[in-house]
């Protein structure tokens, strides 16, 4: 299962990376959907709590590959150069509940500390609306490190993202 999740993460990260390079060529899109010198590739909001501390994404991107059946929502907390953020990847998205323990859902929280990633272990993502260009829902999960020695509680997560299609 860990191997599948790692492959899912690499695939989703690659989708986002290639889409970003192709569409925005070094330009950032803010949560409001405004652009700074480039093409808008997505917009929306992503908010959540980490161990009770509120976080709001300053940069939110959504990418959906219908041919691969993957939706990725990523948000960067703080400035554009910040490494703190959260990523949600769902295989075959639709309105409904996606348990993080299933092989089709991956949630990752990264902190500002280098190489500090927390992977969703238990919890769920609930998609309440999935239209031709927008996805809305909620999420909460307990995340741990690969070593399994520590956890973080990600709660009260809400997303409303206009995504691009590939």
Q: Residue 29 domain-assigned?
A: no
Residue count of the chain: 166
Range of the domain at 103: 2-24+35-165
Q: Residue 103 domain-assigned?
A: yes
Who has greater pLDDT, 35 or 158? Answer: 158
Which of the four pLDDT bands, split at 50, 70 and 90, describes residue 80? Answer: low
Q: Residue 82 domain-assigned?
A: yes
Q: Residue 52 domain-assigned?
A: yes
Q: Residue 120 domain-assigned?
A: yes
Question: Could you give the CA distance from residue 148 to residue 118 in angstroms, rounded to a whole number?
Answer: 10
Q: Residue 30 domain-assigned?
A: no
Q: What is the pLDDT of residue 149?
A: 80
Question: Average pLDDT in the 46-55 region?
Answer: 96
The dihedral formed by the CA atoms of 164, 43, 135 and 99, expressed in degrees to the nearest 10: 100
Q: Residue 154 domain-assigned?
A: yes
Question: Average pLDDT in the 69-94 region?
Answer: 91
Q: What is the pTM of this model?
A: 0.77
Question: Could you give the CA distance from residue 100 to residue 104 in angstroms, rounded to a whole number?
Answer: 8
Q: What domain count does the chain have?
A: 1
């Amino acid at each position: 299962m860990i191997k599948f999740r790692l492959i899912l993460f690499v695939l989703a990260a690659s989708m986002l990376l290639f889409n970003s390079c192709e569409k925005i060529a070094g330009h950032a899109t803010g949560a409001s959907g405004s652009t700074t010198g480039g093409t808008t590739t997505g917009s929306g909001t992503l908010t959540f709590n980490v161990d009770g501390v509120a976080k709001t994404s300053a940069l939110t991107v959504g990418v959906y590959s219908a041919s691969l059946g993957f939706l990725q929502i990523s948000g960067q907390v703080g400035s554009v150069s910040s490494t703190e953020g959260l990523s949600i990847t769902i295989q075959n998205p639709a309105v409904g509940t996606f348990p993080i323990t299933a092989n089709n859902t991956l949630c990752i929280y990264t902190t500002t500390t280098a190489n500090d990633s927390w992977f969703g272990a238990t919890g769920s993502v609930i998609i309440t609306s999935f239209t031709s260009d927008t996805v809305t829902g909620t999420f909460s999960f307990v995340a741990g490190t690969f070593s399994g020695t520590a956890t973080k509680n990600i709660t009260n997560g809400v997303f409303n993202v206009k995504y691009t299609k590939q």
